[in-house]
Structure 1
């Protein structure tokens, strides 16, 4: 599940923690303080944080994995803390206190956590299995040559389209941004819009347009790259979608939920692979998947690859045990990695050998999506934190809405984003 939709989709989940020791769930608590570990005979109690996944069964799976780990390692108790609401804010504030978890997951990876010494390098956790992780999974957690996390799942985001609706309208699935704009306009009626990218009309479309026009967001050495002429051209192109009024705005749920697509409110929607288990039963074979099209003919289509990464608190008291847990679950247990990727929504296992054995991802639109990720996948840079991304998206919205001079707006945003990135990098 994408990190950006966590705080929007969580209802009805257990708030608090479950302590697993010697393979058994001992207690529940609303506190985040581990309790009961010593009574089990365990020498160490790990506090492991997860955001509140929206997929049914995910929480129970996390508990099963903890139970299996403590059965194999009875000297280490595991407390699973399930965190609903604004996970990122709760995590970052707690990391500054003595209640910080030993192991925690993060969505889009943050270089700043590594540079501030808050997460431990995990090169020794990978061992010889490093070569089995896909390139995206390795590159996204690498800071100055060291690996600071282990990817749990890859979340692939792409365009869904209704085959029958496009066919009836005589529209070929678009391969360029011009084609997407034209298709969205042609498919817009008095009752329906042609495309849904997010309730704000921006969603991921701004970064996708920048990427698909041969520019980038931030360079590997921390220089803002979205101020280029090609990036500006791509952002200005978004105005056409807004001027045509072909975008669905203000739906009851946002882009991460497939409801608008399933209900026929839109024939094209930017969403994620996680939604396919809901889309397939509802629409059968009447849907297809596409990358975000190249901005111009001959350009590069894009799919965004997000997901969740397991990290170890470098300042915790149980670093060695925490590394052992991460290694056991996310490096050694291929059957559990496959279960987590296939059974609670669809996600791609970051290990290529595990992905190759995931049967539910080996046919149809799911297989196409995996192939799109391998061919066109891009991840947000590790410096793409809230202050930077929010400034960029706000400017994209202004440009798309025709508010102000695009070049001046972007130039000012580049300066602001560079200041924020320099702070992250301690420059």
Structure 2
């Protein structure tokens, strides 16, 4: 998938900015300049950008955290900017101007921001806490052995299945790709389909299929999804489409659990963030699985995305911005826990915080966290829109039976390699 697109599309958007001074909200603002007027007389005003989370209470939590920071650092005002619409597009455009935020979040870390000198290295913020961050959280923000962000939340994506429906049909939850194909086919009826991966019939599945067959996407700056294993896996995905077992064109996409909770499908690829809604609708009548190994020699896969806090290296307030990021995402473990489990479910990137997240410590939520630790994979830092679009377009044609699979994939590799080379200068 394009992580930026799907992470954004699963949110409903609000908008606006709020300025926090001396621990209080004093005014609303529509502009996003870091130098907005500050009636408190604080020496520094930080502009902190969030995409407009759709989970109830998330915006209020961000404001509450900013208020707590200004109480601890009264010389620094914080303007929380809640950005509606195409967050990634707006952010990339604004980073080229004087109105660029001091601190901002990004979904699925993009290493080109570091290579272009747009974000600051943050190694000095971690200290002894570095060892407490999980391997994915460290690996995904590392560029040339430096850390260019602090992971805020891990978004874990898994395969949900309805226990009672599979049991009634005499189907064991699938642990191999062949079993997944067979289960989806058997669960497809005249009135419903067996599996929902996304309205396009793909969702994350091309990435998952490639990795479940022992292949990779991009390795050390070289596009790797042109391998025989990748081609085999992508060609295998066509079986799901040919069987007519995929739900297509639902009212919401894979990131929303409605198709699953409303009984439209008994299996759906979705995220941990949706688990509170799933449990409210189905009680204990659901389970989760990793994407199954494509065949012997492969491995199950759990997709790990999420959001990372970065500091504008060209901003006017780099030191203060670093102090804010360190305070919120490294020092204040209680706020990190709140952010992860109070507004949808997400996994705290810090191991000690995750261990203390009560809502993630039992049942299917705990199982999901354990699956992420065992099988979790994040997209490479070079997986930007140009690279992912080339890959996904080829996968769509391959699964749709449009053209020679090897030729389609080879063309996508050439396009993607050009894009990666451009990123890396």
Give the match for residue 367 of structure 2.
368
1:243 corresponds to: 242
How many angstroms apart in 2 are the aligned matches of 1:412 and 1:231?
Answer: 14
1:3 to partner: Cα distance: 4.1
Query: What do residues 221-256 of structure 1 show as CA deviations (whole Å, max 9, x unaligned)?
Result: 210000000000000001100000100100000000
Aligned position for 1:200: 200
Which 5+ residue runs of structure 1 have no aligned equivalent? none
- The aligned counterpart of 1:213 is 213
Deviation at 1:36, TM superposition (A): 6.0
SS of 1:380's equivalent in the other structure is coil
Cα distance in 1 for partners of 2:406, 2:13 equals 45
Please state whether the residue corresponding to 1:151 is helix, strand or coil.
strand
Shift of 1:162: 0.2
C-alpha distance in 1 between matches for 2:348 and 2:213: 29
Question: What RMSD in Å do the two structures reach over aligned CA positions?
Answer: 1.0
Question: Offset at 1:9?
Answer: 3.9
Alignment of 1:99-118 (within 5 A): 99-118=99-118
Mapped contact 2:160–2:270 kept (Cα < 8 A) = yes
State whether structure 2 residue 336 is matched by structure 1 residue 308.
no
Match of 1:8 in 2: 9
Partner SS, residue 39 of structure 1: coil
Q: Give 3-state SS (helix, strand or coil) of 2:251's partner.
A: coil
Q: Is the 8 A contact 1:196 1:248 kept in 2?
A: yes
**Equivalent in the alignment of 2:342:** 343
Aligned twin of 1:189: 189
What is the alpha-carbon distance in structure 2 between the residues aligned to residue 113 and residue 317 of structure 1?
18
- Give the aligned partner of residue 128 of structure 1: 128
Structure 1 counterpart SS, 2:221: coil
Aligned match of 1:144: 144
Q: Secondary structure at the match of 2:218?
A: coil
Partner residue, 2:386: 387
Alpha-carbon offset, residue 19 of structure 1:
0.2
Q: Aligned equivalents of 2:184 and 2:159: distance in 1?
A: 12
Moved >3 Å (runs of 4+): 9-12, 34-38
Secondary structure class of the residue paired with 2:79: strand
| Aligned residue in 1 for 2:180 | 180
Q: What 5-or-longer segments of structure 2 have no aligned partner?
A: none
Tell me the CA shift for residue 377 of structure 1: 0.1
Q: Secondary structure at the match of 1:188?
A: coil
**Counterpart Cα distance in 1 of 2:7 and 2:376:** 22
Aligned to 1:290: 289
Question: 1:37 Cα deviation (Å)?
Answer: 4.8
Aligned partner of 2:418 in structure 1 is 419
Once the two structures are superposed, residues 115-136 of structure 1 have per-residue CA deviations (whole angstroms, 9 ceiling, x without a partner) of: 0000000000111110000000
Shift of 1:30: 1.6
C-alpha change, 1:296 and 1:12, in structure 2 (3 Å) is closer
Shift of the alpha carbon at 1:62?
A: 0.1
Given the two structures, how large is their TM-score scaled by the length of structure 1? 0.98
CA contact (8 A) 1:119 1:311 kept: yes
Distance in 1, matches of 2:288 and 2:201, equals 20
- 1:7 is displaced (CA, Å) by 3.9
Distance verdict in 2 for CA 1:274–1:3, change over 3 Å: farther
**CA offsets, 1:85-124, max 9 Å, x none?**
1100000000000000000000010010000000000000
The 1-side partners of 2:186 and 2:288 are apart by: 19
Structure 1 residue aligned with 2:166: 166
> Which residue of 1 is the match for residue 45 of structure 2?
45
**Hey, what's the Cα distance between the residues in 1 that align with 2:365 and 2:298?**
24
Q: What is the aligned partner in structure 1 of residue 229 from structure 2? A: 230
> How far is 1:29 from its partner?
1.5
TM-score (norm 2): 0.98
**Aligned residue for 2:31?**
31
**Which stretch shifts more, 269-278 or 294-303?**
294-303
